Chains A and B, each alone.
Chain A
Amino acid sequence: MAEMLSRRRFLLGTTSAAAALALSGCDILDDASQGNFRNVLASAEELTRATQRFFLSPTSMAKEFTEADIGKNFRANGSTSPDDPEYLRLAANGFADWKLKVGGLVETPLELSLADLRAMPSRTQITRHDCVEGWSCIGKWTGVQLALVLDEAKLKPEAKYILFTCADELEKTLDGSGRYYESHGLEDAFHPQTILAYEMNGAPLPIPHGAPVRLRVERQLGYKQPKYIMRIDAVDSLEKFGSGNGGFWEDRGYEWYAGI
């Protein structure tokens, strides 16, 4: 991920784009969208990530709003009612049997119930949720800082990413590749506003919004904030999961770094 955009690659992109423009025709642009040229376009993501990381300190905070700013209808996007049998069984019981498994490259694997999470110090934040589609909603979230959970599990030094496995299948497939998952680097995982939220607007997190627990990562877009979390794993690479791009939407062409 550390490779910086080379100037040559950028210039190459510009001239190819000019050529595409000169030839015109939607087919050419469609082909360029899927072919090798896509990698040139995608190189901008690394420039964006490096630039934002340069200016963002680990404690730069997303704006927090007041109760008066909370909207009446917070849109629920993606899965709103997972049909996984195991999830339905847990939901039927009010998630009393749900256990968040924390594993991978950690010294102490954990199994935390909702009661365990609620017993930990909580953080409440009223923040704006920005969907990649362009809309925004404001809601109040209460949960435990992910950093506290990760500190309890103690990351091994080789851990580089935190991977979240969810209960919902957003795309129905025979091989299970449509299951939602996401990942974050350690800087966002340990950010003070990164919480495992179990309450929304003062009530237990509703199912359309990811019950029993969803992630809040306030300096990135909505798809980086998975709902219906079942497992958290510390990993050293994202290659072995899904199609290897670090998340459900990333495997479908979206940026892994969604700070814009």
Chain B
Amino acid sequence: MAATALEGRSPAFIYRHTVLVRITHWINVVCITFLLMSGLQIFNAHPALYVGQKSDFDHPVLAMTARNTPDGPVGETTILGHSFDTSGILGMSYYDGVPRARGFPSWITVPSYQDLATGRRWHFFFAWLFFINGAVYLAASLATRHIWRDLVPSWSQIRAIGPTIWHHLKLKFPHEREYNVLQKLTYLTMVAGVLPLVVLTGLTMSPGVNAIVPWLVEVFGGRQTARTIHFICATLIVLFILVHVLLVLVSGVWNNLRSMVTGRYRVDVAGGDHG
């Protein structure tokens, strides 16, 4: 696969990311940042998750609460009946030095103070931008067969998944034209799975959308389940970002960044060094 590097003016560089991929990628970075921060602000208005159509307030699947103890205020997170002390981060955290009962802490929400109305303004503005950006990406990627060509792994790649995992564990990253099988599967899961799902579950929390397409919220098991799935998707997106940024850093940060800005990516040529 590395043999395809001999094109363009420099034998070591290839044109990796189309302008569409690069622009939509960076718009996504902005959108997802604000969507996550404002989403946590909205979550803080009622920091509990349920399953079904309605909220069974006595049996949340997840809840962040605060209570006073003789030793001071405590933050508690309860997941499926199991409670954890999350003081200072979840349930109870400090804002301006004062302990507050709030789901997520102020440093990760926008605005920092509790303000649902404003959190919603941020969220829906960037939700629209994220939706338009994603729709443009998906439409163009289907039209140019980008998804099929670059994101769906070949059988030979899938068969060699073991060695690829081994390379990752050893932090050895061959620089090739094609994404490796783990990249392909991860990106495909995100663009064709998690990201559309986060949009759809977000939409089904809207009573207006429910009146337009009543069956969609049923597919997700009811409005409160949809809200829970929305939260799980957001968590998966955070996990993706953590791993994605980590791998960008350890697999040649400048090469990766350059390719996502200018499109040019340096590949390993046979016999070349792995710098």
Contact = CB atoms under 8 A, between A and B. Distances in A.
A34 B214 CA distance: 36
A34 B110 CA distance: 12
Contacts of B120: 132, 254-255
B27 interface: yes
A33 B211 contact: no
A56 B54 contact: no
Nearest to A59: B211
A43 B128 CA distance: 11
B215 to A, nearest CB: 10
A55 B212 contact: yes
B112 A30 contact: yes
Given A30-B112, A41-B125, A69-B54, A14 B45 contact: no
Interface in A238-260: 249, 252-255, 259-260
B43 to A, nearest CB: 7
Interface in B171-226: 205-212, 214, 217, 223-224
Contacts of A73: 57
Contact of B54 (A30, A71, A219): A71
Given A44-B121, A62-B210, A62-B211, A17 B45 contact: no
Contacts of A134: 42-43, 45-46, 205, 227
Contact of A133 (B111, B116, B217, B223): B116
A236 interface: no
Nearest to B126: A17
B224 A136 contact: yes
A72 to B, nearest CB: 9
Interface in B231-270: none
B117 A135 contact: no
Contacts of A43: 125
B33 interface: yes
Contacts of A56: 208, 211-212
A39 to B, nearest CB: 10
B46 A21 contact: no
B148 interface: no
Interface of B is mostly: helix
Interface of B: 27, 30, 33-34, 37, 42-43, 45-46, 48, 50, 53-57, 106-107, 110-113, 115-118, 120-122, 124-129, 205-212, 214, 217, 223-224, 227
Contact of B56 (A26, A41, A71): A71
22 contacts: A14-B30, A14-B129, A17-B30, A17-B126, A21-B33, A26-B107, A26-B111, A29-B112, A33-B115, A33-B121, A41-B125, A44-B127, A56-B212, A132-B45, A132-B120, A133-B46, A133-B116, A135-B55, A218-B211, A254-B120, A259-B208, A260-B124
B208 A253 contact: no
Interface of A is mostly: mixed
Interface stretch (A45-53, A100-108, A150-158, A203-211): A45-53
A137 interface: yes
A260 B30 contact: no
Given A30-B112, A71-B54, A71-B56, 13 more contacts: A18-B30, A33-B122, A42-B121, A60-B211, A73-B57, A75-B57, A130-B205, A130-B223, A137-B55, A219-B210, A220-B208, A252-B117, A253-B117
A136 B3 CA distance: 58
A63 interface: yes
A221 B42 CA distance: 14
A159 interface: no
Contact of B128 (A47, A61, A69, A133): A47
A44 B208 contact: no
Given A10-B129, A17-B30, A128-B223, A29 B54 contact: no
Contacts of A128: 53-54, 207, 223
Interface of A: 10, 13-14, 17-18, 21, 26, 29-30, 33-34, 38, 40-45, 47-48, 52, 55-56, 60-63, 65, 69, 71, 73, 75, 128, 130-138, 218-221, 249, 252-255, 259-260
A222 to B, nearest CB: 9
Contacts of B111: 26, 29-30, 33
B53 A259 contact: no
Contact of B207 (A30, A71, A133, A218): A218
A43 B207 CA distance: 20
A105 B43 CA distance: 41
B208 A260 contact: yes
Nearest to B124: A44
Contact of B30 (A21, A29, A42): A21
A219 B123 CA distance: 20
Which residue, A52, A63, A75, has most C-beta atoms of chain B within 10 A? A63
A44 B34 CA distance: 14
Contacts of A48: 124, 128
B36 to A, nearest CB: 12
